[in-house]
């Protein structure tokens, strides 16, 4: 019944402890446990429908698990929202708020955005190349810029855990690569803990310290692969022998264990 919390796990930033989720008789997550260290970047890959988004909904508190717990810094936050930053493939920018007003959305929704919040947002946007678009509405921005604003909004929540659910999935490959390199630089700047869901094995390896491979539904962790590539990372990593070896390993894990995955 009780989760198997080891000494090591008790020190984790995020601990998903023996979580199961059942929807109307379908098991989406099956006794899944995952420990993420402070300032660690963990990519989660798995076949479609393996419950990756369900896992994020549980960690963010949107979905209460059928059994199991979620601990943040050792504190039980199961079913509680407001503790982590969450970003989806859909940028979900609010159309009637400008770039700055979108970035301060978290503050606006909780305590009211102050002048200081706006200044921070403007500084953040300026720092990451959106200085000329502070007062633009989202519809006037390109897809890449919109995702960048969405990530800044997530950063501006000042939570030290970020859940990114295929944030670059809808972008063209050139823009996606730019965004991946940008996220690497943001991550290397900040001490944040990131959980990153993706279908893209290259993306998973390029960004993460560890790659967790999920099984088909019901989702379980099949393998947890450390990515010992040195940081800071850049484009050259993608063509290194080490990278190729890791990619072969992840693909083998995904493919061997999920032969029935739809094309």
Partner 1 sequence: MSGIPPFVRRAVGRVVLALLAVGLIVGVWNLVIVAFGLKPYALPTPQSAVSAIVHRWSTYQSLTLQTIEETAYGFGIGAGIGFLLGVLMSASKTVQRLVYPALITSQAVPIVAIAAPLAILFGFGLLPKLVIVAWIVFFPVVVNVLDGLAHVDRDLVNLARVMGAKRVRAFLAIHLPATLSPLFSGLKIGATYAVTGAVIGEWMASAQQGLGTYLQTANASLDTEGVFGATILLTAIGVASFLLMVAAETVATPWRTRSTARRGPRSLLRAALGSSPDISRRKGARRWFGSLPGAALRGSRSQSPPPPR
What the block records as the tokens of 121 is: 């947002």
Using CB under 8 A as the binding rule, whether residue 11 contacts partner 1 is answered as no
CA angle 253, 259, 263 (to 5 degrees): 105
Q: Nearest approach, Cβ of 100 to partner 1 (angstroms)?
A: 7
Using CB under 8 A as the binding rule, whether residue 31 contacts partner 1 is answered as no
Q: Which stretch binds partner 1 (CB under 8 A): 1-9, 116-124, 209-217, 249-257?
A: 116-124
* Residue among 3 and 144 whose Cβ is closer to partner 1: 144
* Residue among 32 and 103 whose Cβ is closer to partner 1: 103
User: One symbol per residue from 49 to 78: x for binding partner 1 (CB under 8 A), - otherwise; what is it?
Assistant: -----------xxx----------------
Cα 82 to Cα 98: distance, rounded to the nearest angstrom: 23
Using CB under 8 A as the binding rule, whether residue 109 contacts partner 1 is answered as yes
Using CB under 8 A as the binding rule, whether residue 226 contacts partner 1 is answered as no
Using CB under 8 A as the binding rule, whether residue 175 contacts partner 1 is answered as yes
Q: Nearest approach, Cβ of 122 to partner 1 (angstroms)?
A: 5
Contacts with 219 (C-beta within 8 Å, 6 or more apart), sequence order: 28, 29, 30, 32, 46, 50, 51, 52, 54, 55
For residue 23, list its beta bridge partners.
Answer: 26
Closest CA to 98 of 61, 132, 60: 132
Using CB under 8 A as the binding rule, whether residue 88 contacts partner 1 is answered as yes
Q: Nearest approach, Cβ of 206 to partner 1 (angstroms)?
A: 15
Residue among 25, 112, 228, 263 that touches partner 1 (CB under 8 A): 112
* Residue among 121 and 250 whose Cβ is closer to partner 1: 121
Burial of 38 from C-beta contacts in 10 A (0-12 / 13-18 / 19+)? middle
Residue among 178, 200, 202, 249 that touches partner 1 (CB under 8 A): 178
Q: Nearest approach, Cβ of 190 to partner 1 (angstroms)?
A: 5
Q: Nearest approach, Cβ of 74 to partner 1 (angstroms)?
A: 15
Annotate 74-117 with DSSP letters as a single string. Answer: TEE-TT--SSSEEE-SS----TTS-HHHHHTHHHHHHT---HHH
86 touches 98 (CB < 8 A): no
Contacts with 236 (C-beta within 8 Å, 6 or more apart), sequence order: none
Using CB under 8 A as the binding rule, whether residue 98 contacts partner 1 is answered as yes
Annotate 210-263 with DSSP letters as a single string. Answer: EEEEEPSSSB-EEEEEE----SS--GGGGGSHHHHHHHHHHHHHHHHH-TT---
Residue 231's φ and ψ, nearest 5 degrees, are -105, 155
For residue 45, list its beta bridge partners.
Answer: 213
Residue among 35, 124, 162, 213 that touches partner 1 (CB under 8 A): 124
Positions that interact with partner 1 (CB under 8 A): 60-62, 81-86, 88, 90, 92, 94-98, 100, 105-106, 108-110, 112, 115, 118-120, 122-124, 126-132, 134-137, 139-140, 142, 144-145, 157-158, 160, 175, 178, 181-182, 185, 188-192, 232
């Amino acid at each position: 019944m009780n989760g198997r919390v080891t000494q090591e796990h008790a020190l984790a930033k995020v601990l998903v402890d023996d979580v199961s989720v059942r929807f109307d008789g379908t098991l989406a997550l099956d006794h899944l446990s995952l420990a993420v260290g402070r300032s660690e970047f963990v990519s989660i890959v798995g076949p479609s429908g393996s419950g990756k988004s369900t896992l994020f909904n549980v960690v963010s508190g949107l979905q209460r698990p059928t059994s199991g717990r979620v601990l943040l810094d050792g504190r039980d936050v199961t079913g509680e929202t407001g503790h982590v930053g969450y970003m989806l493939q859909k940028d979900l920018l609010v159309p009637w708020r400008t770039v700055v007003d979108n970035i301060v959305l978290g503050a606006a929704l909780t305590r009211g955005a102050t002048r200081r919040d706006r200044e921070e947002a403007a500084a953040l946007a300026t720092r990451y190349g959106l200085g000329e678009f502070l007062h633009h509405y989202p519809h006037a921005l390109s897809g890449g810029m919109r995702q960048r604003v969405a990530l800044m909004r997530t950063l501006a929540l000042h939570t030290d855990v970020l859940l990114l659910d295929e944030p670059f999935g809808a972008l063209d490959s050139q823009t996606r690569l730019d965004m991946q390199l940008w996220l690497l630089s943001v991550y290397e700047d900040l001490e944040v803990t990131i959980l990153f869901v993706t279908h893209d094995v290259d993306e998973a390896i390029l960004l993460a310290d560890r790659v967790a491979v999920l099984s088909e539904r019901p989702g379980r962790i099949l393998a947890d692969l450390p990515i010992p590539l040195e940081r800071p990372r850049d484009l050259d990593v993608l063509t290194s022998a080490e990278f190729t070896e890791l990619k072969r390993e992840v693909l083998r894990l995904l493919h061997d264990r999920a032969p029935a995955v739809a094309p």
